Chains A and B, each alone.
Chain A
Amino acid sequence: MKNNEDTQAHRYWKENLTYLAILLAIWFLASYGAGILFADFLNNFQLGGFKLGFWFAHQGAIYVFVILIFVYIRLMNRLDKKYGYDE
């Protein structure tokens, strides 16, 4: 029983870590990528009256942050149910 519990917990943790890696990669790309490192390049494109790189730095990254957390909440609530850790 203890062993079974153990592998179950480990599988849950591993899936959790996979989600974290993917979400944090997007987090990095939207803020440090689009907003800073590639901002100059993206500024060649327009989004309405915004230069695209500037838009990411002053607006877009923040929207992405909010969406990321809510995606994480959904993923984790599903994962909790799948492994019976829901309460």
Chain B
Amino acid sequence: MDVKTWTYIIVGITFAIYIGIAFWSRASSTKDFYVAGGGVSPLANGMATAADWMSAASFISMAGLISFMGYDGTVYLMGWTGGYVLLALLLAPYLRKFGKFTVPDFIGDRYYSNSARTVAVVCALLVSFTYVAGQMRGVGVVFSRFLEVDINTGVIIGMVIVLIYAVMGGMKGITYTQVAQYCVLIFAFMVPAIYISIIMTGVPIPQIGMGSTLTDGSGVYLLDKLDGLSRELGFAEYTQGSKSMQDVFAITFALMVGTAGLPHVIVRFFTVKRVKDARMSAGLALGFIAILYTTAPAISVFARTNLIETVSNRDYATVPKWFTNWEKTGLLAFTDKNNDGKIQYVANKETNELTIDNDIMVLANPEIANLPNWVIALVAAGGLAAALSTAAGLLLVISSSVSHDLLKKIVMPTISEKGELIAARLSAAVAVCIAGYFGINPPGFVAAVVALAFGLAAASFFPAIILGIFYKRMNKEGAVAGMVVGTVLMIYYMVKYKMGWLDATPPPANEWWFGISPEGFGSVAMLANFAVSLTISAFTPAPPEDVQQIVEDIRLPMGAGEATNH
């Protein structure tokens, strides 16, 4: 069977499973809708969190990005995993004990103020919308490449699927579909990786394969070979990287702290029964994530080596079929600058003749390595699972921010449970449409916007939550001032140095503050938030007695009860 038939079959089966699960786990109360009734097992929650977390970017783009960044790719590898240690140790158990539905709930109650709650809602919406647009785009890209439909049609199909299970099932439906999606995506990611690892190094475990010798009998280590190839073509050595140390440090830190502050990840820990289940699911979640995150750098090494060996100095007339396939999508482009009919793939931009989009490295990897058609189809299903699961989690945060935090807690406190549930479904539906709109008309600054999402999460939520738990004296004046300063500073830096809206062009790297790129600036904005919060709170009155009692209370794990709507 050809790839297209396989893709229709595999994608069709997985979609049927997702919708079936959605029917089986319909939400009947706001508690079902926001936190899946609070009775999810740690294992299921761990898988759901992993699928929630690993987006189209993790599945499709990350390995490719790393294969072009080499050592510097560690900012994503460590940055997007290390945050779970912070989550497990510093946030999840206490927020679970606190026992509400959303992150703005915590901020609003802990800082006894609706202005704090409103600031938190605005941050949650900003972070989630920027993130979700990228996911819908990812769905479109996968559809267009593998099923040869228009990108926009792909986005719309994705919207309909998410709409069905997010609107009907809320968090409950999302949780159980995410469990299924985790299984699909990890299987789809691992199969080609294992295949290629065996072909290139004879070792079936990619994590070990990337550090093994090649099967060509030369006895050369794969990584040494890649370092050598990179040197020859004028690239930085793969194991060295080219970013400055302080920038790698800052970006890694911003991504870690941002991860720990992302509302769609935090809410997942509200869905389990007890505090110890929250700890356990954080551990399991990172375990499930680590399977993909330790495999991705291996794929990067395999793919990069394969690519260089396949295309470098090759006659264009003899390129393999996948090359021309991907040329059609525009993600791969060859211009014969010196008219010698050969592909010159080198670091020097003047003479380089090949441009490659990051995403190809995962999507085309099975074709490059000549794997069977069903594996290629599986990768398509995996990419869709990754994009859909993350999109659904984000949509839930958006809908609960609107129906719960904004409507129920601020605008219309008298709304009935039934009314709130309808509002939640409606806002989920509206959010899907907005996300789809951005998927079809992506803002030109998507990359900047995702970095912004992490920077904002780091600069706004993280300090407010940490101080709320670990510093009893922290008051609303300090927290609100800190969040506002952190957020504004982050947006200013992004607008000035990434988008360049304040000058004719973005200022050059040597004007960056402390040599830190906009991607890493979340670290600085976060420190500013901490400093402002602590200073202001020192000069303003301590929080009321009952709030201090809440803090005492969340520090003890017993009697978490169920997430409630007091």
Which residues of A are at the interface with B, using a C-beta cutoff of 8 A? 9, 12-13, 16, 20, 23-24, 27, 31-32, 35-37, 39, 43, 47-51, 54-55, 57-59, 61-63, 65-66, 68-70, 72-73, 76-77, 80, 85-87
Contact = CB atoms under 8 A, between A and B. Distances in A.
Interface string B110-124: 000000000000000
B23 to A, nearest CB: 34
B286 A66 contact: yes
A28 B262 CA distance: 21
A62 B71 contact: no
Contacts of B556: 9, 12, 85
Contact of B290 (A27, A62, A85, A87): A62
A9 B211 contact: no
A65 B84 contact: yes
15 contacts: A9-B556, A12-B555, A36-B245, A36-B248, A37-B245, A49-B212, A51-B223, A58-B77, A62-B81, A62-B293, A62-B294, A65-B286, A69-B88, A72-B279, A85-B556
A14 B89 CA distance: 14
A12 B239 CA distance: 45
Contacts of B77: 57-58, 61-62
A70 B284 CA distance: 9
Nearest to A57: B74
Interface string B293-321: 11001000000000000000000000000
Interface in B79-103: 81-82, 84-85, 88-90, 93
Contact of B239 (A43, A65, A66, A76): A43
| Chain A, interface SS category | helix
Interface in B475-514: none
Interface of B: 71, 73-74, 77-78, 81-82, 84-85, 88-90, 93, 207-208, 210-213, 221-224, 239, 245, 248-249, 252-253, 274, 276, 279-280, 282-283, 286-287, 290, 293-294, 297, 552, 555-559
Instruction: Please give me the 7 A-B residue pairs with the lowest Cβ-Cβ distance, nearest first.
Output: A49-B221, A57-B74, A49-B211, A69-B283, A58-B297, A54-B239, A50-B211
B253 to A, nearest CB: 8
Contact of A80 (B208, B213, B276): B276
Given A65-B286, A85-B557, A48 B211 contact: yes
A17 B293 CA distance: 29
Quick one: which of A48, A54, A58 has the most chain B CB within 10 A? A58
Contacts of A39: 71
A1 B275 CA distance: 25
A31 B73 contact: no
A10 B506 CA distance: 51
A80 B81 CA distance: 27
Contacts of A70: 283
B552 A57 contact: no
A87 B78 CA distance: 34
Given A57-B74, A85-B556, A69 B221 contact: no
Given A58-B77, A70-B283, 5 more contacts: A35-B74, A35-B78, A36-B74, A37-B249, A69-B84
Given A48-B211, A59-B294, A68-B85, A9 B74 contact: no
Nearest to A77: B276
A50 B297 contact: no
